[in-house]
Structure 1
Amino acid sequence: MAMRNIIKIDESKCDGCGLCVPSCAEGAIRIVDGKARLVSETFCDGLGACLGDCPQGAITLEERDAAEFDAVAVAAHTGHSVEDVMASVHANAVRGGAAPAVPAACPMPPSRFHPAASSFLRHGHEAGHGHGGGCPGSAARTIQRAAAPTTVPAAAVAEPSRLTNWPVQIALLPIRAPYFAGAHLLLAADCVPLAYAGFHRDFVADRVALIGCPKLDDGEVYVKKLAAIFRDNDIQSVRVAFMEVPCCTGLVRIAHRALTESGKDIPLELVRISIGGEIIPTDGF
């Protein structure tokens, strides 16, 4: 234990929007029972990268006796390398954390929230520099693959597209459309089709496909749009396909919130995809 800065979450102000969760590259925050919670003191670096993403001013920094930050534990928790974790911490430290515009222990009124203070926008602008703009999920890496065959068997036939609806971007979808009648929906993060080779065969087939990015797009708009689609149509099931990187778990929260707001009891299935293109366990989601 040591005296250090660590985040403090005011549950009376937190509305469970989840915007803070993907902004914490160390995975220190999770939505539990509709409120943001600190998962473990050892996961919080105390630099406040999440402060600019809370529109309610529910997250502040306080100096108190707390367990020391543990990069090895964070690496095990997030599935990233210790080097990536330390690169994220270093990037936040160079920026002074996310907190210069929000003094420590000073609640940020809702009027102070602005996209320019948000790590979503900040990471987006910096994603092409250094170690992914401070977000391990955006860190550049090379994926080693076995060499692809140089010749294609004569009998091989290109697999056809299984897409049966258009548009597919959540922002462009209508609230009502004929293809929603009795539909099984696929809600996929837009990196999934590139990572998972059998996307059309295993995910798109027999489903209405919707795609979006929980990190770069407006999550609140998505919640409202999806809630309206669930509420106004006879949706049979929803499958959420998301990447293993921390920021992509925002899609799971969007789906849960949309279902709650719709008032519908629709079966929800989660499928998590690794950067290497494998289906991996969804424990903890």
Structure 2
Amino acid sequence: MKNLACGCPGSNVRTIEKPATDNPATGKVASELRQWPTQLHLVPPSAPWLQNAHLLIAADCAPFAYGDFHRDFIKGKVLVNACPKLDDTSPYLDKLTEILKHNDIQSLTVTIMEVPCCRGLAMMAKQALEASGKDIAFKVAIIGVDGERRS
């Protein structure tokens, strides 16, 4: 793959050197996903599962990078995902604002990667929360490209 001319750190090709894991398999890990669709482009603000939900907005790469994503983030939450770099994000701010305005969202968690382009998703979620006029618990979790949780 050729590096992009823009020099974006998120596009840099790299190998992550790690020892092979020797975690014992203790059985099948169950999915914590409880609704469909998940892509923000496809989720209608009126989806019934948004009502009274703890909302998780995940950058597309985060679940692949962080091994315990289902257990640590999706469990007990409704998931929507998006990519602030590759998606057409122009409708996202309005859609997120509508979701927050018209549903009794209990909390808002955003998981992003540590690369700069991902921060736009967290900023968009914060702007939507402010535009909704609601006082909802808000937190951002940052995942490193090495799969480690940074915050």
- Which amino acid in the other structure matches residue 198 of structure 1? D
- Which amino acid in the other structure matches residue 140 of structure 1? V
Structure 2 runs not aligned, ≥5 long: none
Q: What do you get for the CA RMSD once the two structures are aligned?
A: 1.7
- Which amino acid in the other structure matches residue 63 of structure 2? P
2:119 to 242, 249, 263: 249
Q: In the alignment, what sits opposite 1:190?
A: 60
Cα deviation 1:243-285 (Å, max 9, x = unaligned):
000000001111011112212221111101100111114xxxx
Q: Secondary structure at the match of 1:269?
A: strand
Distance 1:256 1:277 in 2: 24
Q: In the alignment, what sits opposite 1:261?
A: 131
Q: Is 1:141 equivalent to 2:14 in the alignment? A: yes
How far apart are residue 220 of structure 1 and its match?
2.8
Q: In the alignment, what sits opposite 2:2?
A: 129
Structure of higher RCO (CA pairs closer than 8 Å, 6+ residues apart) = 2
What is the number of residues matched between the two proteins?
Answer: 151
Distance 2:75 2:64 in 1: 16
The alignment's TM-score, normalised by the length of structure 2, stands at 0.93
Distance 2:62 2:5 in 1: 19
Q: In the alignment, what sits opposite 2:88?
A: 218
Distance 1:265 1:172 in 2: 26
- Which amino acid in the other structure matches residue 191 of structure 1? C
Change (3 A) 1:184 1:132: farther
Check conservation: 1:236, 1:267, Cα contact below 8 A.
yes
The alignment's TM-score, normalised by the length of structure 1, stands at 0.51
Change (3 A) 1:144 1:131: farther
If each structure's helix is expressed as a fraction of its own residues, which one has the higher value? 1
How far apart are residue 130 of structure 1 and its match?
3.1
Q: In the alignment, what sits opposite 1:199?
A: 69
- Which amino acid in the other structure matches residue 280 of structure 1? R
User: Aligned ranges for residues 10-29 of structure 1 at < 5 Å?
Assistant: none
